[in-house]
Amino acid sequence: MTITFILDALITVIGITTPILLAATGELIVEKSGVINLGVEGMMLVGAIAGFAVTFETGNPWLGILIAMVSGAVAASIFGVMVLSLGANQVATGLALTIFGIGLSSLIGSNYVGIAIDPLDSPFPDTLALDTFWRIVFGHSPFVYFAVFLVLATGFFLNKTRAGLVLRAVGENDFSAHSIGYPVIRIRYLAIAFGGAAAGIAGADFSLVISPLWAEQMTAGRGWIALALVVFAGWRAGRLLAGSYFFGVLMALELYAKASGFAILPSQFWAAMPYLIAVIVLALLSSRDGKGGKAPACLGKPFIPNG
């Protein structure tokens, strides 16, 4: 095993981890506000097709990313209206959003199947990425740098700013926050829209960088891994960053097992492992009252203000 192989593997891990980190960071904000949105997969697919279609039609990937972000936020806002204004069940509505996103992306994407576009390259000059070592720093797409910035900024926001403390207070005790004048519903709407925007950008990363072509359900269940990652990280931004790369390593092992044709365990095992862990972690969500539970106290509970 050469140093070049190790560095190339690290670059691969960073690339495939990025959309999960983006989506999980958005979901972290949503859950910190006391809402659980299981529609991450659907919002990612909506963002993926929106970003791809706009980029293909206009030739402007930045416009595609913007529309992907807006599309994800709009899809999330539909969820917000259902659960915040109409009092629908959050789990059922989130699952419906995923189904809606799968169907809508397939419908819109029917005219783009198999069409490829030029991937979005590193924002740095090519000369900085020629050397294998420096390619780790300068050889990534803009999504990678934005994802790291977003999770660090989110951690700072939640722990060091007044607005972040208010958001956490709403998630921990919505009635107390309401009683002292905080607009609980408005704060949750904003959190949900942010989570949708982040998921939309994550979807655009798939269709513009990871696989710069359109294929139905191209996110391949990564939204569920993002949901599990939030729980896995204990609802903490720092752990979210570390946990995302843990899942990234598992997914990279599948790729290298297939490429090498030789592994102690078959590639199918590594392909299933991230989803198996995701199922286990999501199962823990239903028993978060157990020892060491760190979920926001109001997570998943409807808020109906008195009067």
CA distance 219 to 112: 16
Please state, in angstroms and rounded to a whole number, the distance separating the CA atoms of residues 261 and 85.
53
Mean pLDDT (whole number) for 19-30: 95
pLDDT band at 122 (very low <50, low <70, confident <90, very high): confident
User: Could you tell me the sign of the dihedral formed by the alpha carbons of 74, 75, 78, 82, in that order?
Assistant: negative
pLDDT of residue 243: 85
- Does pLDDT of 266 surpass 70? no
Domains of the chain: 3-285 (1.10.3470)
For position 30, what pLDDT does the model report?
96
* pLDDT value at 114 more than 70: yes
Record the pTM: 0.88
Window from 67-71, 145-149, 231-235 with minimum mean pLDDT: 231-235
* Triad 12, 215, 266: Cα angle to 5°: 50
User: Is the confidence at residue 283, as pLDDT, over 80?
Assistant: no
More confident residue, 2 or 238: 238
Residue 291 pLDDT more than 50?
A: no
Mean pLDDT calculated for residue range 173-180? 91
Q: Taking Cα atoms as reference points, which of 41, 50, 54 lies closest to residue 102?
A: 41
Which residue carries 């915040």 as its tokens?
A: 84
The three-state secondary structure class of 50 is helix
pLDDT of residue 145: 92
> For residue 292, what pLDDT is reported?
45
